[in-house]
Amino acid sequence: MIHSIGVVIAFFGVLYSILAVIFGTGFYRISFSIFTFSELYIVFSMLIVFFKFKDIYIGFVYLKSIVFLLFLSLIYFVYSIFFSHPIYFAVRQFIFVIYVFMLPVFCYAISKALSAWGTEGFKRWVWVSLLASAFSLFLVQGNRDGVVLIAVLVSACYYYSGGVGVFPLFSVLVAGAISGHAGHLVASLAFVGSFYLFKKPSLFVIVTPFLLAGAVLVIPTLLGSDALTDANASWRYNYWSDVFELVFSNGYGFFGEGFGIEYINPDLTHYWDIIGQISNQKYDDVYRSYTTPTHNSFLNVFYHIGGVGVFLMFYLLFKPLWIAFRRLDGVSVGVFFVIFLHMMSHNAIELPYMAIPLFLCWSLLILATRKSDENFSCS
């Protein structure tokens, strides 16, 4: 029974990610009473902790790190509420901490899904993710921000379960090509490149020219897209540099600003330029200032809880990378680059339609780089 619950958690996590790609805001903003689909999914997933707490959390290799991050964040959260920061926005900005704390649950769910679905099951998921990518092109409300993440998740699981062939890699490249985001395209190329560099070095020399040719073909298009316009680049540069300046001036980089904060607040040097570029008629500037993070998840963590929080996030991500490098595990190295590049270029752990597939990928990376004596093979 408990094992089947783990499979159910994995199933709905993958399904949610795919539906969010196809239907975008029309799906992930649907709510039941006060809960959206993503919030119901997290609540349901947390219930398993009460049934299998010892197996899931006790012995989890990064337990101390995630507990310390949770404890630190709760201190900031209480502090923020005490100083009258808006509770609604404080809770909304705190959500990424819940996802981090869910990593052991996601690891458990993915491990059960690998056992239950096997190669054929994940091959079907690869097809579904590819079709979802295609459908999203024809639907106005489609949202392709998470398309590379879900393609990489099911493709990596396919290889970890013993699958062979290049079709999953093709699906990842298609996802990157249609994502419309330069960082996501680079992430898809990094995953494919890492796969061949470590798993099939002899083919890396052959594949690399094709990857480079693909990059050369799409770069002119990307350079002319909204994602890389001078206005967009300057907006991010001003925003990022102002946040760094603010956090360092208030606490030398050790302390953040807490939760329930105005991301874009009048203390930022380029406040009027930053808020002016995102102003629209649907939401007023105050609402937008609370709900528009920096488009860099590491910087968002730094903004909220300072340098210690960023260090913990880096540890949770780079320790598995080090293990993967030592094992010459190209799939895990590729998964790392996909996670890292999404976090560096997007609000990847703050928005549910990206956070759910990203943390599922993160849990897979942790699962794949566990101690070698555990029953999990990356070959």
Sign of torsion, CA 214 215 216 221?
A: positive
DSSP state of 209: H
For 171, residues 6+ apart whose C-beta sits below 8 A from its C-beta are 126, 129, 130, 133, 151, 155
Pairwise pLDDT comparison (375 vs 231), residue with the higher score: 231
pLDDT at position 378 over 60: no
Which of these ranges, 45-49, 154-158, 192-196, 217-221, has the smallest mean pLDDT? 217-221
User: What does each C-alpha distance from 27 to 17, 154, 347 come to in angstroms?
Assistant: 10, 21, 19
Q: pLDDT tens digit string along 169-182?
A: 999 999 998 887 88
| The total number of residues written for the chain in this structure | 379
Reported as a pLDDT band with limits 50, 70 and 90, residue 155 is: very high
Q: Is the confidence at residue 52, as pLDDT, over 90?
A: no
Q: Is residue 68 part of a domain?
A: yes
Count how many domains the chain has.
1
Ramachandran quadrant class, 33 (left: phi over 0; alpha: psi -120 to 50; beta: rest) = left
Q: Tell me what pLDDT residue 377 has.
A: 42
Residue 238 lies in a domain: no
Mean pLDDT calculated for residue range 217-230: 50
Residue 153 lies in a domain: yes
pLDDT number for residue 85: 81
Mean pLDDT computed over 356-368: 95
* Beta carbons of 66 and 101 less than 8 angstroms apart: yes
DSSP H or E segment with residue 375? none
pLDDT at position 144, please?
84
pLDDT for 373: 40
Greater pLDDT, 85 or 263: 263
Mean pLDDT of 91-120: 93
- On whether residue 96 sits in a domain, the answer given is yes
Using a pLDDT cut of 90, give the percent of the chain over it.
41
CA distances from 36 to 7, 43, 166, 177 (A): 21, 11, 36, 30
Q: Tokens 């959206």 correspond to what residue?
A: 36
Token pair for 183? 């960082």
How much of the chain, in percent, has pLDDT values that exceed 70?
Answer: 83
pLDDT at 219: 53
Examine residue 254 and state whether it is found in any structural domain, yes or no: no
Residue (of 200, 219, 197) closest to 337 by Cα position: 197
CB-CB contact of 361 with 149 (8 Å): yes
Average pLDDT of the chain is 83
Higher pLDDT among residues 23 and 224, named by residue: 23
Residue type, 47: L
pLDDT of residue 202: 56
Q: What is the C-alpha separation between 191 and 168, in angstroms, rounded? A: 11
324-340: pLDDT as tens digits: 988 889 999 999 999 99
- pLDDT confidence band for 201 (50 / 70 / 90): low
Q: Which domain holds residue 156?
A: 2-230+290-368
> Is the residue at 210 inside a domain?
yes
pLDDT digits (tens, 9 = 90+) for 341-359: 999 988 999 988 899 999 9
pLDDT of res. 230: 45
3-state secondary structure of 6: helix
Residue 165 within any structural domain of the chain: yes
Q: Does 99 map to a domain? A: yes
Q: Which residue has the tokens 């942790």?
A: 366
SS3 258: coil
Nearest to 360 by CA among 79, 122, 93: 122
Cβ(136)–Cβ(21) below 8 Å: yes
